[in-house]
Amino acid sequence: MRNNQTIKGSGTVTSNSGEHAKVKYEIQIEKNVIHGAPDLSSGPSDVPGLPTITGRISPACFFGTQALTLTLKDGQTARFIYLNSSGDIHVNWIGRE
């Protein structure tokens, strides 16, 4: 079973040197399940896996810079890297600091 969530809004990207840029973002959080071997007494033993978190930022700013942080409209922060110059991202961590 997969349970997906999409978060959209306006936020701020901060570079590792402290520069800021206003952006729009869309982040998809895909919850994954690890399918375990069946247990003879209780059946399959599925367990929650790590989520896959991807998205897009527009405009793509500070492209080529590592250690970028996106501050979401609700105050959460997301640490991410760009996958390409179109603004597609992979989120390494999202939450409150």
20 in any annotated domain = yes
- Quote the domain boundaries for residue 81: 3-34+46-95
Separation CA 13–CA 23 (nearest Å): 7
- pLDDT of amino acid 1: 44
Mean pLDDT, residues 40-52: 79
39 in any annotated domain = no
Q: Are 68 and 62 in contact (CB under 8 A)?
A: yes
Q: Are 13 and 21 in contact (CB under 8 A)?
A: yes
**Between these two residues, 67 and 21, which has the higher pLDDT value?**
21
Confidence of residue 49 (pLDDT cuts 50, 70, 90): confident
41 in any annotated domain = no
Mean pLDDT, residues 67-89: 95
